[in-house]
Structure 1
Amino acid sequence: MINFKIVGFLGVMYTLTSCGQGQSNKITDITKSDGIISPLHEVNIGKIVFIPNMEYQESDFLETFELSPSNDLNISAFLNNSLTNYLHQLAPDLTIEELHKKGNYQFSFLIDGELIYKENLNFGAGLPEQKNKQTILTIPLQNEHLGYKLWSSYMWDRFFYRNGGEAALKTGNHILKIEIRPYLESKEIIIGDLIAEGELKLKLGEPEKATEEQVAIQPIKPYKGWEISKEDYDRERIRALNRDIAEYKFKKITSIVVVKNGKLIVEEYFNGANRSTQHNTRSVGKSFASTVTGIAIGDGYLKSENQSLAEFYDLTQYKNYSAKKDSVTLKSLLTMSSGFDANDFTMDSPGNEEYMYPTDNWVKFALDLPMDKTKIIGKNWDYFTAGVVVLGDILDKSVPGGLEKYTHEKLFKPLGITNYTWQYTPQKVANTAGGLQMNSLDYAKYGQLYRNGGKWEGNQILPESWVKASMTKHFMEKDDKPSYGYLFWNQSFKVNNKTYETFFSSGNGGNKIFFFTDQPLVVVITATAYGEAYAHPQANQIMQDYILPAMLE
């Protein structure tokens, strides 16, 4: 028995690698690969096998598989060479480092002989040693038991949920085929020979039908701070939404709360959640840092959002000092435009948040980063979680009693929010990067606070001028960059040829707090689809196709 175990790269959509047959003898290898490491490997060169576990033996190879969200599906590709050597055959003049920056695997997914999706994996993904040596590629496609997501699971999600896989795989029997090739992108994309392929017979049973209890609109009971609405709405539209959640069209949704004209009109819970559940909404918590900044400015503990980092830190004591770093403002941290060499959406960015979490001082991690010479402070947008941690640290040092106590006294207590849970930085400061947990009705209070212009029950908790600044498009949507305010996102939905604009907090998993600018609506959606490619698109579809049509007059 031979076991093969994957080496994981935690929490990202990027790339490990290895290779198989094809061009292996045409050009001398540029690096020493692992070679053919076993008899099982030798007899399966060029094949992709499907397996239920990451550790396996030959008897575990699958010929048929019942595809459902709860069943794990993984693959092993037995290759004749390493990825780096395959790429070398495509471009013999490039160095190993250049090959890693310009190429990777290409995966093709076919259903019943028809090409459904093809993906050239991100160049910067994966570990160089694996690219240089690995000749057996064992990766998860869907595997909820690993405890983390690997690039291959994100790729499967993109194939299945966003690029036609789910639509092609209807009830019945199908053949799934996967092909792997190397590719290189220089002046043009060069595709190498096929290096591994494999087929699997898939069985898809009839989806479970929702019960009437699952479809029924859930009754709303009294809750402090909320009056229950008596307005009419399209109840059948909400019943249809409940059905689609129960039948797993929308996945891992835990709650939906709708407030109209300041009153609670819809309150639905799913997948084991209830009214008291504290939801981990991840980066939704960033918006709260913006709120507390506005309160602190209103109270005089901060002068304005135009204050610079140099007023709070001796930046010469940190690595990569430059005068440009002194000029970073609170406003640029609030608008994700601080100019640091950082981008959470790019794994090879020095300031990516995944490199921050293992360190023992997140603020130092951020302030040690170099400035990006190509960026202008306040002009170039890139998502930068560590910058919001710095903002939280500044608040903690500036307000009486520290950030956690101040937030409780000035924000949560006036809103009547008593049950919540912070996460903390290594320095035990309330974590403004995200993870602030509370129940859905309390999240809705927070959204309504902004919809009310900073007022709650007649009291001005947050300066109205700050609400307006937060809901200003400091960055307009352009070149795949979003419209963005002060740690709030912005987008519009179109229903019946009319456009409805909303600002919103957003967190990994598809968590949202929406408040509309031209409708008296606040909507909370919570979910646990962490790292899933479908998480945010399905939240938008719920809003577009169900909630807005149900609530609009």
Structure 2
Amino acid sequence: MKHLLLISCLLILNAAYIYAQTENIVKTEGITSELHRNNIGKIYFTSNEIAFPDLKSSDFLSTYKLTNKSNLFFIAFMGNSITNYLHQLNPGLSADSLVKSGNYQFTLLIDNQLIYQSNLYPGAPYARIQDSATVINKPLINNENGNGLWSESFWNRFMHFGGDSALTEGRHLLRMEIKPYLKAGDIKVGELIAAGNLNLIVERKPVINIANITLSPVKPYNGFKVSKEIFNTNKIKELKGNVEEGVFKKISSIVVIKNGKLLIEEYFNGETRYTLHDPRSVGKSFASTLTGIAIHENYLHTENQRLNEFYNLHAFENYSLQKENVTLKDLLTMSSAFDGNDEDENSPGNEENMYPTDDWVKFALGLPAKKDSLNNNWHYFTAGVILLGDILNKTVPGGLEKYADEKLFKPLGILNYKWQYTPQHVPNTAGGIQMNALDFAKYGQLYKNGGKWNGEQLISKEWVLKTFTKQKQITDRNNEFYSYLFWNKTFKANNKSYEAYYCAGNGGNYIIVFINQPLVIVITATAYGQSYAHPQINKILSDYILPAIIK
């Protein structure tokens, strides 16, 4: 009898072991607290960011007023990690294969109606987190410190694909559900991991009373006199009210120059005319400007010079004749043969792969060449602009920083600015120049003037003309073009079209030079990584600024 009992116990233990092996393929952080243990399978919401160790059940919301300025975070308590949930869907795959083939499926319902469902792209968050995490504590809306996390991007997509229409003024029930999904041929969706509800009182349409809004008085600035031209002040007051009410988010400044004079100057979110803004890739355009100046002064011969005139490409990885033949113009128009595309996260030359390295030039020159459609076609390639900056730094007298100051910034009267630097302490031409909005406006007006400032030709007319030429069609965008590190598109307002060349940067930052209108417009913003950043600027221009200032 004892013998049979022992055999039975061993069989049970062996079965349990085998089940555990099937159940879990990776070790997780486990059930992390009593709060976690009591709420497995549940999702809760909070109005602010609370670190998990400090989280209490009293922080959980049951009802919440949702305005344009609201923040909204969620906490999902799970019984396992996503890697192990995926393992249950396909026990034959390795942990590495699982996180490359599947992820969370997030669903949002409003009033029990499915509005948006998203299978998060494999790889976000990182594999080590997918293996271990049993709690998700992330923002859906973070108006203070948001920078485009995957969870914020999910909410922004929800708003774009039906959430904005569903969340009408009044009371609604928000429900979130999380399941695992795995793509191995067909998509296989697992059982519910966690779910939760939140009662919302939606107040997203503020009443803008323009009678209570005052536009900022415009004062002269070094380089700009005050314009006395008439514009629709009520339209700009309405815009200002919408920015202040959070309808347009994280706007820092709006400056309008008309006929070379300062017409509108507004600042938001604590900024002033002296604030140094970080407009990210707007700074790429400065690399084009300085290349043009260096060519005019014969420090560079032409934009058709090839990389092999500046580097021994045999000294870098992935040597090819294609790379030997890459020209400065290819880098200026983002159409080189390098296998680098910032819009493709799997591209070896994606800028996110460059930043952790200790030599960005070595990274860029060591990339393989691409024989397919990337070669000679437009593809956004930040590392190529780093090469331009390095070539300038080696070529112009005194280095790039000194040259830019003497040839561009001092003649424009720009005295207070700040560079960011590469690991080799070269000015970061990927987008590392900071200055105030009015000085950015000077830069735009310089191009509007055909390269001339205070009677001095700082940029040759020929270079401005080449810059304001449609060099490359932008991939997958209708009637949008790229030039020498400037963009080109046509803005719509009042059922009319207004063509412009412009500098643009992450977060919704713009310097816009209109072709057939006497206008330069600067908008700075800090909506970094947010999918709404650029669309809201288009709306600001089309619905408010252009109708207000163009007769």
TM-score range, shorter chain: 0.7 to 0.9
Residue 437 (structure 2) pairs with residue 435 (structure 1): no
**Aligned partner of 1:464: which letter?**
K
Residue 383 (structure 2) pairs with residue 389 (structure 1): no
Instruction: Report the CA distance shift for 1:80/1:518 in structure 2 as closer, same or farther (over 3 A).
Output: same
Q: Is the 8 A contact 1:228 1:265 kept in 2?
A: yes
**Equivalence for 1:46:** 41
**Equivalence for 2:458:** 461
Q: Deviations over 1:305-335 (max 9, x none)?
A: 1112211111222223333222222112111
**Aligned partner of 1:61: which letter?**
F
Identical positions, percent: 54
SS in 2 for 1:387: helix
Instruction: Report the CA distance shift for 1:147/1:109 in structure 2 as closer, same or farther (over 3 A).
Output: closer
**Aligned partner of 1:45: which letter?**
I
Q: Is the 8 A contact 2:386 2:429 kept in 1?
A: yes
* Structure-2 separation of matches of 1:473 and 1:532: 28
SS in 2 for 1:139: strand
Corresponding pairs, count: 527
Residue 296 (structure 2) pairs with residue 302 (structure 1): no
**Aligned partner of 2:179: which letter?**
R
Q: Deviations over 1:272-298 (max 9, x none)?
A: 222222211111111000110011111
Q: Is the 8 A contact 1:260 1:522 kept in 2?
A: yes
* Structure-2 separation of matches of 1:501 and 1:187: 45
Deviation at 1:396, TM superposition (A): 0.6
* Structure-2 separation of matches of 1:551 and 1:146: 33
Q: TM-score, normalised by structure 1?
A: 0.87
Instruction: Report the CA distance shift for 1:61/1:216 in structure 2 as closer, same or farther (over 3 A).
Output: closer
Residue 238 (structure 2) pairs with residue 240 (structure 1): yes
Q: Is the 8 A contact 2:24 2:87 kept in 1?
A: yes
**Equivalence for 1:339:** 337
* Structure-2 separation of matches of 1:273 and 1:35: 43
Deviation at 1:527, TM superposition (A): 1.3
Q: Is the 8 A contact 1:210 1:246 kept in 2?
A: no
**Equivalence for 2:12:** none
Instruction: Report the CA distance shift for 1:249/1:359 in structure 2 as closer, same or farther (over 3 A).
Output: same
Q: Deviations over 1:80-125 (max 9, x none)?
A: 4433344455556665554434432221212222323222222343
Instruction: Report the CA distance shift for 1:231/1:41 in structure 2 as closer, same or farther (over 3 A).
Output: closer
Deviation at 1:29, TM superposition (A): 4.9
SS in 2 for 1:341: coil
SS in 2 for 1:415: coil
Q: Which residues of 2 match residues 260-279 of structure 1 at below 5 A?
A: 260-279=258-277
Instruction: Report the CA distance shift for 1:349/1:30 in structure 2 as closer, same or farther (over 3 A).
Output: farther
State which drifts further: 511-520 or 36-45: 36-45
* Structure-2 separation of matches of 1:146 and 1:492: 32
Choose from 31, 39, 44 the match for 2:25. 31
Q: Is the 8 A contact 1:207 1:247 kept in 2?
A: no
Deviation at 1:523, TM superposition (A): 0.5
* Structure-2 separation of matches of 1:59 and 1:263: 56
**Aligned partner of 1:32: which letter?**
V
Choose from 337, 350, 361 the match for 2:359. 361
Choose from 326, 329, 332 the match for 1:328. 326
**Equivalence for 1:127:** 126
Instruction: Report the CA distance shift for 1:122/1:468 in structure 2 as closer, same or farther (over 3 A).
Output: farther
Q: Which residues of 2 match residues 130-209 of structure 1 at below 5 A?
A: 130-143=129-142, 149-160=148-159, 162-185=160-183, 188-204=186-202
Instruction: Report the CA distance shift for 1:325/1:96 in structure 2 as closer, same or farther (over 3 A).
Output: farther
Deviation at 1:344, TM superposition (A): 2.2
SS in 2 for 1:228: coil
* Structure-2 separation of matches of 1:239 and 1:292: 38
Deviation at 1:524, TM superposition (A): 0.5
Deviation at 1:67, TM superposition (A): 3.5
Q: TM-score, normalised by structure 2?
A: 0.87
Residue 74 (structure 2) pairs with residue 75 (structure 1): yes
* Structure-2 separation of matches of 1:217 and 1:61: 40
**Equivalence for 2:10:** none
Residue 371 (structure 2) pairs with residue 377 (structure 1): no
Q: Which residues of 2 match residues 441-456 of structure 1 at below 5 A?
A: 441-456=438-453
SS in 2 for 1:405: helix
- What are the ranges of 5 or more consecutive residues in structure 1 without an aligned counterpart? 1-24
Residue 530 (structure 2) pairs with residue 536 (structure 1): no
Instruction: Report the CA distance shift for 1:484/1:29 in structure 2 as closer, same or farther (over 3 A).
Output: farther
**Aligned partner of 2:128: which letter?**
E
* Structure-2 separation of matches of 1:520 and 1:248: 30
- What are the ranges of 5 or more consecutive residues in structure 2 without an aligned counterpart? 1-18
Deviation at 1:506, TM superposition (A): 0.7
**Equivalence for 1:487:** 485
* Structure-2 separation of matches of 1:386 and 1:445: 27
Choose from 373, 394, 415 the match for 2:412. 415
Instruction: Report the CA distance shift for 1:175/1:272 in structure 2 as closer, same or farther (over 3 A).
Output: same
**Aligned partner of 1:31: which letter?**
I
Q: Is the 8 A contact 1:139 1:152 kept in 2?
A: yes
**Equivalence for 1:4:** none
**Equivalence for 2:62:** 63
Instruction: Report the CA distance shift for 1:219/1:396 in structure 2 as closer, same or farther (over 3 A).
Output: same
Q: Is the 8 A contact 1:46 1:79 kept in 2?
A: yes
Deviation at 1:188, TM superposition (A): 4.8
Larger radius of gyration between Structure 1 and Structure 2 = 2
Q: Is the 8 A contact 2:45 2:72 kept in 1?
A: yes
Instruction: Report the CA distance shift for 1:94/1:336 in structure 2 as closer, same or farther (over 3 A).
Output: farther
* Structure-2 separation of matches of 1:26 and 1:542: 57
* Structure-1 separation of matches of 2:540 and 2:203: 25
Q: Is the 8 A contact 1:451 1:515 kept in 2?
A: yes
Choose from 278, 281, 286 the match for 1:280. 278
Residue 343 (structure 2) pairs with residue 348 (structure 1): no
Q: Is the 8 A contact 1:343 1:384 kept in 2?
A: yes
SS in 2 for 1:414: coil
* Structure-1 separation of matches of 2:204 and 2:403: 53
**Aligned partner of 1:469: which letter?**
K
Deviation at 1:214, TM superposition (A): 6.9
* Structure-1 separation of matches of 2:543 and 2:180: 40
Instruction: Report the CA distance shift for 1:61/1:266 in structure 2 as closer, same or farther (over 3 A).
Output: closer
Instruction: Report the CA distance shift for 1:344/1:359 in structure 2 as closer, same or farther (over 3 A).
Output: same
* Structure-2 separation of matches of 1:542 and 1:511: 12
Give the aligned CA root-mean-square deviation in angstroms: 2.8
* Structure-1 separation of matches of 2:345 and 2:211: 44
Instruction: Report the CA distance shift for 1:450/1:64 in structure 2 as closer, same or farther (over 3 A).
Output: same
* Structure-1 separation of matches of 2:175 and 2:542: 34
Q: Is the 8 A contact 1:30 1:96 kept in 2?
A: no
